[in-house]
A and B are shown apart, each in its own frame.
Chain A
Amino acid sequence: MEFASLFAYLVSFLTFAGIYAVLAMGLNTQWGFTGQFNIGIAGFFAVGAYTSAILTTPESPAYLGGLGMPFLVGLVGATLASALIGLVIGRITAKLRTDYLAIATIGIAEMIRLFIKNEDWLTNGVRGIAGIERPFAGTPLDSPFGYLLVVVAFVVLVYFLLERAYASPWGRVLRAIRENEPATAAAGKSIARFRLQAFVLGAAIMGLGGGLYAHFFGFLSPEAFMPLYGTFLVWVMLIAGGSGNNRGAILGAVVVWGVWTLTELATDLLPTEYATQAAALRVLLIGVLLQVILVTRPQGILPEKPPKLIARKK
């Protein structure tokens, strides 16, 4: 491979890994910090991606919107729309065991997928939305490499935001809920409220990830997401990297995305008539990887390190 194409490949790889890192950090807020289960990541991701696409693409007769807004407005919209869905689903399940949340999120993801596929007036249905532009059109930054910088900037932003939240009293309550719910309730904290806040924050971050994806790929369709595999990959990333640890989430995203890409390179060597089997084989490998991690190293590569207790000022 020549240098130029290798570089292009690397840029695309890292951009994907960065977007997955954002999703994994969103899941970390829900699962890693608070112990809330979300199997509907693809749903929040899709809401973010479509919101940003509808806000920023030029007007089109085929679907609603095409408002032609700037990139950042699209991302803010993506974050808010996803947070709103998270608020609704979180409100319903905040007082129940996390298994119910898991079932509800799988339902909401399925509803979002059905909605996107069937409501042509809003999303252009199976034909999808094309021509989503990258930011900084007309400047030297309007290139895949420029967009990688944008994604990296957002990964860093989300990372610092979540690290701050993790170390704050708010984050401490979340961890307390995860470790011992009755004790936290006895200390006078409203379990349902903190859970809901963490869930909505996580959903918002996932929406942001969706928005970043839309502008990277430029085209959205209901089938472009591979909904279940997307959700599954994010879970494997977080568990492998180390749930509860934001650095672990980022590392897991890069490592697992690397493994996933390598398996694709490996299965590409197979004859084309085995293409569907090859896809199934890749999922099988990642599934087995998850089980091996769960059995042998459930804490992940980088285990969680709660912040040191700060001595009270005299």
Chain B
Amino acid sequence: MNDILQILIYGMVLGSVLSMGAIGVSMIFGILRFAHFAHGDFMTLGAYIGLTFIGVMGLSPWFALPAAMVGMAVVAVVIDQLLYRRIRRTQPVILLISSFGMALILRSLIQLIWGSENQTYASGIQFPWRLDVLGGLRIKPDHVWIVLISLGLVAGVHLFLTRTRMGKAMRAMSDNMDLALVSGIPAERVIIVTWIIGGALAAAAGVFLGIDTRLHPVMGWTTLLPVFAAAILGGIGRPYGAIVGGMIIGISMEMSTLFISAAYKPAVAFAIMVMMLIFRPQGIFKGTL
């Protein structure tokens, strides 16, 4: 029982990371109509931007988060304006190839700038809190913060999407592109805001992953498959679904270590995704297929 609770906590931490990535993937898919394959490497780049910021300033790891989010939002908009905007007018699937190329460009840039070794935000061991009430359950303060901050960010995205004009415009474009365009929604501005949110949340995912484990140039790429699985599970183009999807995938992946080799964790995400594609491709929350 204790083990299961412990693993549940790890699952929720992973789930928070995946949700942060999946919301961005889901929004980009909804508004720009393509699967953004560079999203994993956005996460990685965000994590490294945070690392440099706290390294230069000599701050605690948590300061990496805002720096990474702001930095990555800017990078995402720059990439869109320099590259994706030029090919947006052709088929969306060309953007898919381009983003796949962008994934490799970003990763090699990260290797060139920061090297290929593992890096960490803070050295030393963090002592977990022991909860004797729950039979000696151990909880790391970092893990609590990761889950709480993700919930806060999700609430922020929710308020933005439901309470602001821009948020409404984004939902409208995701629901029915043509109708949104003829009713005078400024498409270019909506797209830029999409990249700002997507980039910032990807950076948050990267920083969380870096705090929980370590920084490595392929950390984001290896997380991309579960992120896509979470987005599909929740229903693509549905940010709220992405959170549910992220949590389900994250918890399932960690729980699976009770039964099968940990090497096959990504296979669990893949299996859930394939089941979903067979039986309910529109996702739990009926996304825009």
Interface residues of A (CB under 8 A from B): 35, 37, 39, 92-93, 95-100, 102-104, 106-108, 110-111, 114, 117-118, 228-229, 232, 235-236, 239, 276-277, 279-284, 286-288, 290-291, 294-295, 298
A287 contacts B108, C-beta separation under 8 Å: yes
Report Cα–Cα, A114/B228, bound state, in Å. Answer: 18
Q: Which residues of B contact A118 (CB under 8 A)?
A: 261, 263-264
When C-beta atoms are compared, the residue in chain A nearest to B231 turns out to be A103
Known contacts A92-B278, A107-B225, A294-B97, then 11 further A-B pairs from the complex at CB < 8 Å, ordered by chain A residue: A95-B281, A100-B232, A103-B228, A107-B229, A229-B104, A277-B112, A283-B108, A287-B101, A287-B108, A294-B101, A295-B87
Among A95, A102, A281, point to the contact of B35 (Cβ < 8 A).
A102
- A17–B124 alpha-carbon span in the complex (Å): 49
Q: Chain B: residues with CB nearer than 8 A to chain A? A: 29, 34-35, 37, 83, 86-87, 90, 93-94, 96-98, 100-102, 104-105, 107-109, 111-112, 115-116, 221, 224-225, 228-229, 232, 261, 263-264, 266-267, 270, 273-274, 277-278, 281, 289
Q: How near does chain B come to A117, taking the closest CB pair, in angstroms? A: 7
Contact A99 B267 (CB under 8 A): no
Please name the residue on chain B nearest to A107 by beta carbon: B270
Complex Cα distance, B102 from A283, in Å, reads 11
- Judge whether B86 and A295 touch: CB under 8 Å: yes
Q: How far is the CB of B233 from chain A (nearest CB, A)?
A: 12
Q: List 13 A-B contacts (CB under 8 A).
A: A92-B277, A99-B96, A100-B281, A102-B37, A111-B267, A232-B100, A235-B100, A239-B97, A277-B111, A281-B108, A281-B112, A287-B105, A295-B83
Determine the residue in chain B with the shortest Cβ distance to A235. Answer: B97
Least Cβ distance of A223 to chain B in Å? 13
Cβ contacts under 8 Å, A37 to chain B: 93, 96
| A228 CA / B106 CA spacing, docked (Å) | 14
For the complex, give the distance between the alpha carbons of A287 and B98 in Å. Answer: 9
Contact B264 A99 (CB under 8 A): no
Q: Given A96-B281, A114-B266, A277-B112, are A104 and B274 neighbors across the interface (CB < 8 Å)?
A: yes
A284–B93 CB distance below 8 A: no
CA distance A228 to B83 in the complex (A): 22
- Secondary structure at the A interface, as helix, strand, loop or mixed, is helix
- CB distance B104 to A104 under 8 Å? no
Please give the distance in Å from A22's CB to the nearest CB on chain B: 21
| Docked complex Cα distance between A96 and B274 (Å) | 12
Q: How far is the CB of B276 from chain A (nearest CB, A)?
A: 10
A312 to B94, CA, bound (A): 36
Which of A103, A239, A276 has most chain B Cβ within 10 Å?
A: A103
Q: Give Cα A117 to B54, complex, Å.
A: 37
Cβ-neighbour of A106 out of B94, B97, B225, B261 (below 8 A)? B225
- Closest-by-CB residue of A relative to B36 is A99
* Complex Cα–Cα for A118 and B264 (A): 9
Rounded to whole angstroms, the CA-CA distance of A50 and B100 in the bound complex is 26
Q: Which 5 A-B pairs have the closest CB atoms?
A: A280-B111, A287-B105, A280-B108, A284-B108, A99-B35
Interface pair A284/B105, CB less than 8 Å apart: yes
Known contacts A39-B37, A106-B225, A118-B261; A287/B102 CB under 8 A: yes
Considering the chains assembled together, what is the distance between the CA atoms of A279 and B281 in angstroms? 39
Contact A114 B274 (CB under 8 A): no
Residues of B within 8 A of A284 (CB): 104-105, 108-109, 112
CB pair B263–A291 under 8 Å, yes or no, is no
From B266, which residue of chain A is reached at the shortest CB distance? A110
Query: B289 to chain A: which residues have CB within 8 Å?
Result: 96-97
The distance from the CB of A86 to the nearest CB of chain B, in whole angstroms, is 15
Distance in angstroms from A206 CB to nearest chain B CB is 17
Nearest residue in A to B227 (C-beta to C-beta)?
A103
